[in-house]
Amino acid sequence: MPCSFRDYDIYLERLESYKGENATSIEYKIRLTRLGHGNSYAANGYMIYKEDLYSDVQHSIKTFYSSDGSTQFRSYPYTIQSSNICKFFKTNYRQYGQSWIKPHTNFPYIPEEGICPLPKGKYYSKNLTFEDVPLPTHAPRGLWKFDQRFERNGKLIGGLMMYARVTAKW
């Protein structure tokens, strides 16, 4: 559920995809596009699931922030602990992400009962911004880093690092 009463704005600044240790099963080809003349950027491109993803794939998102905007990041407790990918999409993604991500992608709709495996495919992202991302109501200002990782048997199979700036609304 988007935070409509928050006192800040979020601007996506940078994306960095990374490959797996031995094999890459999830690949991102996403770039940022400036929206208008302001500080807003949108993610455009695609991600590829090179195979059906079963519950043996672990997913996590760790969050970090830097209040002064430097690269000296501190860990932030707003984290999604490692869990199997099917459980993640059935719970966290449905609750926090699907409503603001789905209008900008062809990624499958995840029903209440979930989907497992997640189907192999190429899923686009078009004009996806962080404007409606559900962060806490009073998130610290500064530069944030979101480290999304996919692992199988303890080995990285793909991931995405997202950087966003949180600024005061007033």
Q: What is the CATH number of the domain that holds 164?
A: 2.70.220
pLDDT at res. 1: 32
Report the pLDDT averaged over residues 132-155.
83
pLDDT at res. 16: 92
pLDDT at res. 107: 92
pLDDT at res. 6: 61
| Domain, as residue range, for 17 | 8-57+69-168
pLDDT tens across 30-84, in order?
Answer: 998 887 766 678 889 999 999 999 999 999 999 999 988 787 899 988 788 899 9
Q: Provide the token pair at 13.
A: 């600044």
Task: Tell whether omega for the bond before 117 is within 30 degrees of 0, i.e. cis.
Answer: yes
For the whole model, what pTM was predicted? 0.85
Q: Is residue 148 part of a domain?
A: yes
169 within 8 A of 39, measured Cβ to Cβ: no
Domain count, the chain: 1
